[in-house]
Amino acid sequence: MTKLVLAPISRVPGQVQIELEIEGGKVVRSKVAGTMARGLEATLKGHDPRDAQLLTQRICGICPVAHGIAAAQALEKAFGAAIPENARVMRNLLLGANFLLTNIYHFYQIALPDYVHSLPLAPFTPGPAITPTLPVQANAALVQHFLLSLEMSRTVQEMLAVFGGKMPHPSAVVPGGVTENADAQKVTAFRSRLREVADFIKNVYLPDVHTLAWYNPQAFAYGAGAGNLLSLGAYPLKDGLRGQPEFYFKSGRYTNGQPGEVDPDKIKEEFRYAWYEGDSFQSEKPGAYSWVKAPRYEGTAYEVGALARMVIHGHSGVKALGDKAFSAMGRHIARAEESLLLAGALDEWLNQLEPGKPVAVNLNPTPLAQGTGITEAPQGALLHRLEVKNAVIHNYQVIAPATWNASPRDDSGKPGPLEQALVGTPVPDTTNPLEVYRVIRSFDLCLACAAH
């Protein structure tokens, strides 16, 4: 048996360390550790509840919109505020733009260098040692698109700034709504950039993912994991305002092949193998190996992210993949298909903005309250729980997407989703475990979010 310790894992945001046991050319056991924690939840305590929304955004500079929206929702639920239609639409536009940004960024900047030779330019080189599977011309085209994706990152961030104020860390989502008004000029500014990005997704990103998949069929054969999926739902639709909210991306679970519903109250964080005792840090705790806790739904570990959303959404292209969707390559296809779907939806939602109508209501904070904010971040399910006492934040809890995906073993010793997905991955060369890196990066992990 060979033991490997992999750290740092370049290109993955935040700090992660992976320990592997390898037997017979395959991973038989893995440990995924988040090795950085900031303790941001504790910094919220004692402050004006309305500060939660901008402060929790600082958890992540890549998906700040999702944190801002989850926190704003938690506050609105706690204090009983119904946001105006324009605010609902604008938040969907902002979140959608953040999804496009992150999905494109993830594929080209984080995942692609495990498959193609990148630019011969520091810091991209020296890069991973790979044996190219793509013909020279296809490889060259993907490197060109890698550069193009940098321009797209900028364009999508501009698009987000149109209604968000700025990006990263947009300012415009506030408890009670948004601050930016809808007018024709801004709609045009958003739409012109959206069309450019949509064109890139349709004609470059999605074809590139399929090209990569075509030349790397073996990447459908590993990285499956247990196949249990969970989505909390995102993008509330107009009709959903009556009674139960209705979401464009529905909430749901997929357990051992069976669909099911989600009750957020059944999500619990376990920490037997994490450096915590309750909410307190325990950096010397014996047996613990990660700053990330282990969220579980009725004791089960669920994978979250685009694959979960597309399976639960019933996306035909992802469904057509069958079991192949649950793989290192399947996750990239789900992300690209989701991007195309969202680009179309954003174009329609843009028409729902009503210039001149209100964008925010005043919040009427009460001294004692609690609320939960649920949405999807690009990387997966996101949950914020807020407890207010004496008019200040008494407790705040964030369960981020990578808290699920990069979680350590739970109280019963069952491994987290990435730990499960790594088992069985072939390691033909222990000095260059390329397939392992491909599995790790097929999850859109953010370790800054995971431990926060």
Contacts (CB under 8 A) with other proteins, residues 8-27: 8-11, 13-15, 17
- Which of the ranges 135-143, 169-177, 251-259, 313-321 carries the binding residues for other proteins, by CB under 8 A? 169-177
Interaction pattern, residues 311-350, with other proteins; x per rule: CB under 8 A: ----------------------------------------
- Residue 249 CB, nearest approach to other proteins (Å): 23
- Residue 253 CB, nearest approach to other proteins (Å): 29
- Residue 91 CB, nearest approach to other proteins (Å): 13
Contact 215, 201 (CB under 8 A): no
Regarding 42 and contact with other proteins (CB under 8 A), the answer is: yes
Closest CA to 444 of 281, 260, 307, 349: 307
Regarding 82 and contact with other proteins (CB under 8 A), the answer is: no
- Which residues inside 256-295 make contact with other proteins, applying CB under 8 A? 281, 283-284, 291
Q: Which residue, 112 or 212, has its beta carbon nearer to other proteins?
A: 112
Residue at token pair 């955004």? 57
Element holding 90 (H helix, E strand): helix 85-105
Q: How far apart are CA 100 and CA 337, in angstroms?
A: 11
Three-state secondary structure call for residue 71: helix
Regarding 390 and contact with other proteins (CB under 8 A), the answer is: no
Q: How far apart are CA 225 and CA 255, in angstroms?
A: 12
Q: How far apart are CA 445 and CA 354, in angstroms?
A: 36
Q: How far apart are CA 422 and CA 20, in angstroms?
A: 9
Q: Which of 23, 25, 48, 238 binds other proteins (CB under 8 A)?
A: 48
- Which residues inside 84-113 make contact with other proteins, applying CB under 8 A? 109, 113
Distance linking the first and last C-alpha atoms of the chain = 34
Q: Which tokens is 121 given? A: 């330019």
Regarding 248 and contact with other proteins (CB under 8 A), the answer is: no
Q: Nearest 10 degrees: CA dihedral of 38, 299, 262, 230?
A: 70
- Which residues inside 193-222 make contact with other proteins, applying CB under 8 A? none
Q: Which of 132, 299, 358, 428 binds other proteins (CB under 8 A)?
A: 358
Regarding 127 and contact with other proteins (CB under 8 A), the answer is: yes
